[in-house]
Amino acid sequence: MREGINIRAAHFPGRAPIDAYGDGGFRFAEMSHRGSIMCLPSGVHGWSVTEPSQINEETLSRVIGEAAEINILLVGTGIDLVPLPRPLREQFRALGISVDSMSTGAAVRTYNVLLAEDRAVAAVLLAVE
């Protein structure tokens, strides 16, 4: 019996620093991913968000589900800094999570430093060209 290709959601089951970003994706753990990513305690996941305006409670539901293991959430909003809406920031504050929005490049650098310090950090990163 011949089986076809099994396509599954992009997921790396571990925490890994981001080695490079740009050209529409990211490199980490000797792999590459095209598109946006979520770096969470459960691992690195593909993220379908392509614009800052798409960042909302629904697209951040996986982060909310892992809130007990996160103290800091970095939001890489692409080339430019785009603040999260106040209600969303307040929702994370109520969960005990400090949220910082910044450009994707700044978020990658900050994530790598905090990860190296073994902090309870997560990041959602919009891919940039």
Q: What b/e readout covers 27-49, taking b as 16+ CB neighbours within 10 angstroms? A: ebbeeebebbbbbbebebbbbeb
In the β-sheet with 31-34, what is the strand arrangement from edge to edge?
Answer: 18-22, 25-28, 31-34
CATH at 37 = 3.40.1230.10
Residue range(s) defining the domain that contains residue 38: 11-125
Residue 5 scores a pLDDT above 50: no
Is 60:49 a contact under the CB 8 Å cutoff?
Answer: no
Indicate the number of domains in the chain. 1
Q: What is the band of 3 on the pLDDT scale with cuts at 50, 70, 90?
A: low
pLDDT at 16: 92
DSSP conformational letter for 111? H
Does the residue 2 lie in any domain? Answer: no
Task: Answer whether residue 4 is part of any domain.
Answer: no
Residue 102 forms part of a structural domain: yes
H/E element, 65 = helix 61-65
What percentage of residues in the chain have a pLDDT greater than 70?
91
Kindly state whether residue 23 falls inside one of the protein's structural domains: yes
Q: Is residue 31 part of a domain?
A: yes
pTM equals 0.90
Is residue 87 over pLDDT 70? yes
Question: Which contiguous run of DSSP H or E holds residue 74?
Answer: strand 72-76
Residue-wise pLDDT for 12-30, tens only, equals 778 899 999 999 999 999 8
Please give the C-alpha separations between residue 101 and each of 78, 105, 123, in angstroms, as whole numbers.
Answer: 10, 11, 10
123: pLDDT confidence band, cut at 50, 70 and 90?
Answer: very high
pLDDT at 7 over 50: no
Q: Are 39 and 111 in contact (CB under 8 A)?
A: yes
- Answer whether 96's CB lies under 8 Å from 68's CB: no
The pLDDT of residue 9 is: 58
